[in-house]
Amino acid sequence: MPLLTVANLRKVYGGHTPVDGISFEIEAGKCVALLGPNGAGKTTTLRMLAGLLKPTSGQISFDGSPGGDYRKRIGYLPQSPAFYNWMSGQEYVVFAAKLCGISSKEAAGLAADVLEHVGLRDAGRRKIAGYSGGMKQRLGLAQALIHRPRLLLLDEPVSALDPIGRREVMELLRGIREETTVIFSTHVLHDAEEICDDIILMNQGLIAEHGALSRLRSQYSIPVIRLTTEREEKAQRWLEDLAHRSFVEQSEVSSGSATLNVKNVELARQIILQEAGSLDIPLLQFEAGSSTLEDLFMKVVGA
C-alpha cells in the first residue's frame, strides 16, 4: 500500500489555478523529487500535503486513510524557514518536539541527538539570530525530523544556499532518505538526479512526466556523440563533413565542436575514431552516450 496517495488535487485562488488536478502515489521508503520551473505549483502542492492549505478539490490519503489530520507523522520544512530569533537553536527544536506531543524530558534528549545529526551541536546554545543561511536550513531539518516522521516534505531545501551550504544539506538528505520517505521540491535537475529514486515533473499546475528516474532516463535518452577538436581548418572541415554522413540523424556543429545524434553509437564511434586516426585530426574530447534529463526538462518546460 502506498504511503501517500493524491487523487485529482486542485487549488484555485480567485481566477488563478496553481495546481490543476494532479494524481500520484508515493511508496514508503522512496525519495521523490518534485521538479519544475518556478511557478509550476510545487510549493502549493507541498503546502496542501502538509495540511497548511485546504485543497479546492481532490483527496490526499496518508497511510491508506483519506482526509484526517496526519501532521503528527510528517515533517515539513518551508521554502524560507522563519524562526523565533530570540530563541536558541536547541530551544526551538525542543519547542517543536513538545508541540508534537513529546514530553519535556524526552524532548531534551531527542533534541541533542538531532542537533548532533545536523551538525549544530556546538551552535545549539547560540541565538538563532546569529545563524547563517545553511545553519538555519539545517535547523529547519532538525525541527522537521525531531518527532521521527514517516514522511518528510521539503520545499526547495537547497535552492537558496551557497555551494558549501548546499553540499552540507545534500549530504544530510542522503543520510535521511535511508531512514524515511522524502518528498522534496527543486528547480535544479541535478539535485534530483543526485539523490532521488522517482521524479514528478510539474509544469503549470500539471504533472508533465512522472516515474522512476532510471526509467525516464532510458526512455528519453537519445544516442549522442560529442566531439571537440583543436581549432584548425582541417579539423573544422572534417566535423562539417561528419554532419552529412548517413549514420547521423541530427547535428550541431560550431567552431571546434560537434554534437551528433546518431542511429547507432557503436558503428558511429568506430567510424569516427578510425577516421580521426587516419586523417590525423587533433581530437581534444570524444564522448559517446545519451542525452540527459536536462533535455527532457527543457522540452517539458517548453523553453
Residue 296 contacts another protein per CB under 8 A: no
Spatial contact of 173 and 184, defined as CB atoms under 8 Å apart: yes
Residues in the chain: 303
Shortest distance in whole angstroms from residue 115 CB to another protein: 17
Per DSSP bridges, beta strands 31-35 and 198-203 are parallel
- Contact status: 53 vs another protein (CB under 8 A): yes
| Residues that contact another protein, how many (by CB under 8 A) | 28
Closest contact distance (angstroms) between CB of 147 and another protein is 8
CB 141 within 8 A of CB 182: no
Among the residue ranges 18-26, 92-100, 178-186, 221-229, the one whose residues contact another protein (CB under 8 A): 92-100
CA-CA-CA-CA torsion for 71, 76, 80, 82, nearest 10 degrees?
Answer: 60
Tell me the three cell numbers of residue 53. Answer: 492549505
Report the candidate in 270, 254, 265 with the shortest Cα–Cα distance to residue 288.
265
Among 28, 57, 68, 72, binds another protein (CB under 8 A): 72
- Minimum CB distance to another protein smaller for 52 or for 279: 52
Which of 12, 100, 273, 288: binder of another protein (CB under 8 A)? Answer: 100
* Angstrom distance (rounded) from CA 247 to CA 267: 8
Pairing state between β 181-186 and 151-155: parallel
* Among the residue ranges 28-36, 47-55, 178-186, 247-255, the one whose residues contact another protein (CB under 8 A): 47-55
155 with 78: CB under 8 angstroms?
A: yes
> Is 125 among the residues that bind another protein (CB under 8 A)?
no
CA dist 58 and 74 (Å) reads: 20
Residues 139-158, mask of contacts with another protein (x by CB under 8 A): -x--x---------------
Q: How far is the CB of 19 from another protein (least distance, A)?
A: 14
Q: Decide if residue 30 touches another protein (CB under 8 A).
A: no
Task: Give the shortest CB-224-to-another protein separation in angstroms.
Answer: 43
CB atoms within 10 A of CB 199: 26
The Cα 198–Cα 71 span in angstroms is: 23
Residue from 95, 220, 247, 286 binding another protein (CB under 8 A): 95
Interface region with another protein, contact rule CB under 8 A, candidates 56-64, 73-81, 111-119, 202-210 = 73-81
How far, in Å, are 8, 31, 41 from residue 59 at the CA level?
7, 21, 17
Q: Under the criterion CB under 8 A, does residue 160 sit at the interface with another protein?
A: no
- State yes or no: residue 76 binds another protein (CB under 8 A): yes
Which residues make up the interface to another protein (CB under 8 A)? 47, 50-53, 69, 71-72, 74, 76-78, 80-84, 86-87, 91, 95-96, 98-101, 140, 143
